[in-house]
Structure 1
């Protein structure tokens, strides 16, 4: 099963919009950074706009954040691009006559919910500003090592 990269791509796009806000922000330029197609970028940006995280003008390469990076949590971004999708899913077709098959679903449902609550709690405390700052620190560190 392939894991979706929409969430990380959305964070990437938002950080790019902030860091490169004084440049031409076409979907082609953004796609070159994400290493995907402009169509994928536009699709993700549509979801981000619908969630109120960015503002765009049709036909203009000037998207920008609708909020300060400190006011955008990673959980906000997750919900914008993934919706209410669960992090984990339990196989619904197990043998109810088996001790494991008859109980695994309810046990894992509870465990998975606990893990998801912890993950979402952590994502709610990390902001886009935190990610941008980490990117800039990593970039500065790389430059200083050259």
Structure 2
């Protein structure tokens, strides 16, 4: 089973748009940074546009954030890209006659619920601006080592 990268790719796109906001940003340019196809970028940008996170004009390589990065949380981006898709998924087809199989769903479900709430809380506390600032600090450190 392949794990979706829609969420992380969408964060990447939004950060890229903000960091490089002063240059023309075609889907090909963004795709080069994400290391995917321009088609994938255009699809994700359509999702981000529908969620009110970016503004785009057809035929123009000038996407812009629809809000200040300090107003966009990672949870906003998660809901835009993943909707109500569960963060964790329980296997509901376990053997009820087994000690583990008969209890794992209820027990693990409780832990999953706690982890889900903690993850969403952390995503809601973290803004796109926080993420971009960290990226820029890491790049500054890399540049200082050269």
Question: Given the two structures, how large is their TM-score scaled by the length of structure 1?
Answer: 0.96
Question: Where in structure 2 are the equivalents of 1:71-110 lying within 5 Å?
Answer: 71-110=71-110
Output one character per residue of 1:94-138: Cα deviation in whole Å (capped at 9) or x when no partner. 111222212211211121011010010011000000011011111
Give distance in 1, aligned partners of 2:139 and 2:96: 54
Structure with the bigger percentage of helix: 1
Which residue in 1 is equivalent to 2:64? 64
Give the C-alpha shift of residue 7 in structure 1.
1.1
Question: Where in structure 2 are the equivalents of 1:1-146 lying within 5 Å?
Answer: 1-146=1-146
The alignment yields a C-alpha RMSD, in angstroms, of 0.9
Give distance in 2, aligned partners of 1:47 and 1:113: 27
Give unmatched runs, 5+ long, in structure 2: none
Aligned length: 146
Runs of 4+ in 1 over 2 A off after TM superposition: none
Question: Given the two structures, how large is their TM-score scaled by the length of structure 2?
Answer: 0.96
Give distance in 1, aligned partners of 2:142 and 2:98: 55
Which piece of structure 1 moves more, 93-102 or 34-43? 93-102
Give unmatched runs, 5+ long, in structure 1: none
